[in-house]
Amino acid sequence: MIPSNKKEALLLGVKTYFTGVPCKRGGIAHRRLNGDCLCDACKLATAKIKSNWFQNNKDKNIAWAKANPEKMIAYKKKYEVNNSQKIEQYRKQWKSLNKNKVLSSTHKRQASKLNATPLWFNELDEFVISEAIDLATIREKTTGIKWHVDHMIPLKAKEACGLHCADNIQVIPASINLMKNNKLIYTVSHEWIKTL
């Protein structure tokens, strides 16, 4: 049964109701409990309002993100799970339009790895890194989210530079790794699990 008003929706414990009455933009669709219409015209208008607000309040957004890193990680993780196909499509499109940047970045990364590889790098290090790559692939298939092989202490950071070796490798969710970037956070094995 589809509730026809807010009161019925609350009694049934659902998040939307359907009145059958056109909204102010002429759409006929379900409504949220706060009264927002879910027709295409209203969704587009709401998205535009949110986009304008975020554009006009960038400083507030940045300050909030810095003050609430755990909430930001959770938000990014949720967004990545809900929009994985959209994100992958955007990445592919960006890479195809920016081939020179991708190539330059790849060469720079390879050079960083070479410079960070210690002279005592051996078969064990190679084996651990290879297993980490396999583990990332398995976790991705199992969980449905992207995983990265991460250097706990980044190869290039302002405070310190880590080595490309077995002791500095971990497998973490891509969203956490991208948020981490070259910062000295989650530098201890399994420390990132606290953010989940």
pLDDT in tens, 106-151: 888 888 888 888 999 999 999 999 999 999 999 999 999 999 999 9
Q: Dihedral of CA 124/176/157/89: which sign?
A: positive
23-56 pLDDT per residue, tens: 888 888 898 888 888 888 888 888 898 888 888 8
| pTM score over 0.85 | no
Q: Which pLDDT score is estimated for 97?
A: 93
Select from 196, 71, 60, 62 the least CA-distant residue to 139.
Answer: 196
Q: Which pLDDT score is estimated for 164?
A: 92
Q: How far is CA 8 from CA 2, 19, 29, 45, 115, in A?
A: 9, 11, 17, 27, 65
CB contact burial 37-71 (16+ within 10 A = b; e otherwise): bebeebeeeeeeeeeeeeeeeeeeeeeeeeeeeee
The 10 Å Cβ neighbour count of residue 191 is 13
Lookup: tokens for 63: 């300050």
Lookup: tokens for 121: 């790098």
